[in-house]
Amino acid sequence: MNLPPRDAARDAAPDATPGARTSRGEESRQKIVDAALALFREKGYEDTTMRAVAERAGVALGNAYYYFQSKEHLLQAYYARSHEAHLERVKPILARERTLEGRLKGLLTAKIEGEEPYHRFAGLLFKSAADPESPLNPFSPESSATRQAATALFGEVLAGAKLRLPQDLKARLPQLLWLFEMSVILFWIHDRSPGRARTHALIEHATSLVVRLISLASNPFLAPLRKKALRLLDAISVAGP
């Protein structure tokens, strides 16, 4: 899932919560984030109260709301952290794998394994992300920067693979692969099988299927169908209205 980085979200929102302008302020903000993430991990999101966060951070209840519009917004801090970790994990994989299939599988596997410790509240993140009203929602204008960053990563996945693609498809594929990743994550969130065996099976089979579909779509014989599909994407602009 791809949520906007903290700073971008704050700058885009009209009534955004202020960033700290003071070293004292920055310290408070940090203490609040640290307290929140620790409590989320210890007790889960629902059982963590804002009062408990404020108490552990050593600030007043209202102070947390000076830096974070809502409890939900505290999750953004977690997301920012986890996305950076994901980039780090993916870097060596992309350096090693040279086939599209290997690169995709590596990326997706790294994603779900990196998120594994947070499986129980990753669902909550996705929940906010699916709400059209929420600024955390990946289809929102506020998130466009992050969305582009995420699709750019898939652009890199494609660029490093030995692959010949029609130009029109190549332009749209990163967005489509991002949607694929989102689907895998949605599946993973619901997956309760031991070791997330089902999600691993999904990645294994679906990735290889996706790669075959891509090469099928590249077949000149099927160009009309491909054009039709791409026209659909143009008409609705894949990221959503």
Partner DNA sequence: CCCTCCAGTTGAACACGTTCAACTAGCCCC
Partner DNA sequence: GGGGCTAGTTGAACGTGTTCAACTGGAGGG
**Residue of 16, 93, 130, 145 that binds a second copy (CB under 8 A):** 130
Query: Of the ranges 30-38, 84-92, 170-178, 196-204, which one interacts with a second copy (CB under 8 A)?
Result: 196-204
Closest by Cα among 121, 111, 136, 150 to 238: 150
In the complex, minimum distance from the CB of residue 137 to a second copy, in angstroms, rounded to a whole number: 8
In the complex, minimum distance from the CB of residue 198 to DNA, in angstroms, rounded to a whole number: 30
Q: How far apart are CA 179 and CA 233, in angstroms?
A: 13
Q: Does 123 bind a second copy (CB under 8 A)?
A: yes
Q: Report the interface residues with DNA, using CB under 7 A.
A: 18, 20-22, 24-28, 48-51, 59-63, 65-66, 69-72
Number of amino acids touching a second copy (CB under 8 A):
45
Residue 113 site contact among DNA, a second copy, none (CB < 5 to 8 Å, cut-off depends on kind):
none
CB 211 within 8 A of CB 163: no
Q: Give, as one character, the DSSP assignment of residue 219.
A: -
CA 25 to chain centroid, in Å, comes to 29
Q: How far apart are CA 119 and CA 117, in angstroms?
A: 6
The smaller minimum CB distance to a second copy, of residues 24 and 221, is found at: 221
List, in order, residues 6 or more apart from 156 with CB less than 8 Å away: 94
Q: How far apart are CA 193 and CA 195, in angstroms?
A: 6
In the complex, minimum distance from the CB of residue 1 to DNA, in angstroms, rounded to a whole number: 20
Closest by Cα among 174, 179, 150, 176 to 79: 150
Using CB under 8 A, list all residues that contact a second copy. 1, 3-7, 123-124, 126-133, 137, 139, 186-187, 189-193, 198-199, 201-202, 205-206, 208-209, 212-213, 216, 225, 228-229, 231-232, 235-236, 240-241
